[in-house]
Chains A and B, each alone.
Chain A
Amino acid sequence: MQLAYSSAERAFLAEVRAFLAPWRGLGQYLQGRDHAGLRAFYKALGVKNWLSLGWPVDHGGRGLPPIYEFLLWDEMAHARIARPPLSAGIVAKTIIRYGTDAQKARWLEPIRTGELMFSLGYSEPEAGSDLASLRTRAELGPEGYRINGTKIWSSSAQDSDYLWLLCRTGEVASRAAGLSLLIVDLRAPGLRIRPMAKMSGNVFCELFFDDVIVPVDQRIGPQDGAWKMMNASLADERHVQFPPKRVLADYETVRDWAMAHGLDRDPVVRERLAELAVDVLECQAHALRVLTAQGDDVRASIAAAANKRASTDTIQAIARAAMDFGIPAALTTAAPIEQLWRQTLEESLGGGTTEIMTSIIARQGLGLKA
């Protein structure tokens, strides 16, 4: 066993911190509503070639191991600046693995430079946890794919350029074996977007497809072959899925707030903060497991599920503990606590629910049929 960082990794971290300093006020990690600000920030990352740290060099990337992306987005989470854009993660990495040369030439460069923003179109009103039951249909015709159906909960679709759409090209009964991935222009005729406010203050969207036409060359990978690609891209992104410094930032917010109000002098509060500090450390341990399990798919999948579950449990416990400390200042919208209380509610759902994560651990970690 070894816990050490290379001098190159340390130097990178120092560079990241220096770069982030002027962006610290952006505050889009929890809120994510300032899209002009976010776009400017992603473009600045593009200039540094930091949106493509892990991409192969011959695709315009830096060819660096996952620890670099982890260090970058972990710092970002700590400073509450922004989350990794879908475009440079799942979208680009899937195109790199499965796209044609023409698709790589068309999409990778504007993604690398932070020009293009993507939103994720997976969930449907009747297909949430059970994604393989989705029904949004893509019929192949002479003009391309004709899409009909409804998507829901697409984060930030109202401000994005393209949708990474998972849709049905096979029979409904084919479940996961009949799904394809398409890139859909969010301004395409026949597509209506309905933004909906979340309790956190962010927005997710419902998308109604009424004979929306998508050119065939915007299908990534084989028709009906989406499931395998999605699993691969999920694996590609495990190390940035839930950064431990997000958890740390929440802890520091509550700890500092408690201290500012003199609550830490109360032994009960002190004990609770100590318990939470250990929870925060445990999240770092889980992240360590994720980072070191690369290449071993089962171990990585269990570690990622544990990391997601532990992290979301912890941030919810932190916000709710602050309420338990029981001073009315926690309730005011001017203070950070009530925002954390609202925001953390959604974290145990988005990106894989707590229940589904737990069943992965039970099934893959223990061989139980949960």
Chain B
Amino acid sequence: MGGGARSLDLALPPEAVELEESVRRFCERRLGKDVNARRDMPFSWELWAEMAALGLLEMAGTDMEQAQLFACIGAEQLGYHGFPGPVAQSIAAAAAGLADWDAVAAGERLATVGAGTTVAWAALADDIVLITPAGLCSGIAGAAIDTLGRSAVAEVGAGAALPGDAHTVRARFDMALAAYTGGAGRFLVDIAADHARTRRQFGKALGEFQAVAFPLAEALMRLDGAQQLARAAALAIDAARADAADLAAAARLSASRAALRAAFAAHQTFGAYGVMEEGPVGWLSRRIQEYAVLEPSVRGIRQTLPLQGAAVLDPELWPVVEET
């Protein structure tokens, strides 16, 4: 067996683990430690600024080595805790060439990214970035719309052109949304598994029934795959791979499917409790579904994704590392 540095290694760099931990601790401190008691929390400027102070958004806007991997890890954690606000959208906005990006990175201004005429968080955002076939432009918010996912959606009209690269923004959008959505799905699998371990019917824990355990296991398997795809997409963006946007889009489709599967399995595992308005699942499952539908949508990915597969493990596509 060979020793030394492994060329293929899924272990995160220590700084990324540190970031992951600090985001997790922040969420537990501010959103409540008991994840089973988590419920929808409305967007709050104070909370948003505290999140920004962790440096995540700022980092997403730099050329630092593996900056997008860090952004991805942060988005996963924030998704896991259902952190309210345009998390993934802000990570994407970092590449949009916004005049006031520093204020956005500091949590003083709110930015969001979308396409078409209905954009999440546009009802609250100071800066709206629209991805159009002709490039990026700023969006002008119109009326707010009540939607399934309650993510402050508003109608948006096109404004002046923005200098950033639409391709890059799109890649980051898909990557970060994959991470956020996948994290949210993982949260739902975890709380449902916890319920299946503790709730007993017919003298057994629910999890002893394969009809309960298997859908959760299947969701977990798919979420694990999606998580690696999102992280690989982040690395591909960091490495400026030409196909990074395609990988990010694939990761988003994968995460969205897996998270929806997780959401529906969680609803079912919790029984009637799982369909209560104030229940443990609905507040986040709604958002997962909403993020799949809002443009650029998962359906759009299905329609445009190039039809070749093996972009993750191809040695030609990744940087060379020397063995030590």
Contact = CB atoms under 8 A, between A and B. Distances in A.
Contacts of A328: 116-118, 147, 153, 293-295, 297
Interface string A303-321: 0000000000000100010
Interface in B200-220: 200-203, 209, 211-212
Contact of B148 (A326, A341, A355): A341
A233 interface: no
Interface stretch (B58-66, B72-80, B97-105, B274-282): B274-282
A86 interface: no
A316 B153 CA distance: 25
Interface residues of B, number: 42
Contacts of B290: 331
A135 B226 CA distance: 44
A327 B211 contact: no
Interface in A319-370: 320, 323-328, 330-334, 338, 341-342, 345-346, 348-350, 353-355, 358-359
A323 B292 contact: yes
Contacts of B211: 355, 358-359
A205 to B, nearest CB: 11
A353 B148 contact: no
B290 to A, nearest CB: 6
A198 interface: yes
A326 B147 contact: no
A153 B299 contact: no
B271 A353 contact: yes
A174 interface: no
B298 A349 contact: no
B145 interface: yes
A128 interface: yes
A204 B276 CA distance: 9
Interface of B: 116-118, 145-149, 153, 200-203, 209, 211-212, 260, 264, 267-268, 271-272, 274-279, 282, 286, 289-290, 292-295, 297-300, 302-303
What 4 A-B pairs have minimum CB-CB distances, sorted nearest first? A326-B299, A197-B277, A328-B118, A338-B148
23 contacts: A127-B201, A128-B201, A130-B201, A130-B202, A198-B275, A198-B277, A199-B276, A323-B293, A326-B300, A328-B153, A328-B293, A331-B289, A331-B293, A332-B145, A332-B146, A332-B147, A333-B147, A341-B289, A342-B282, A349-B268, A353-B268, A354-B268, A359-B211
Given A331-B294, A349-B271, 8 more contacts: A197-B277, A316-B264, A323-B289, A328-B116, A331-B148, A331-B290, A346-B272, A353-B268
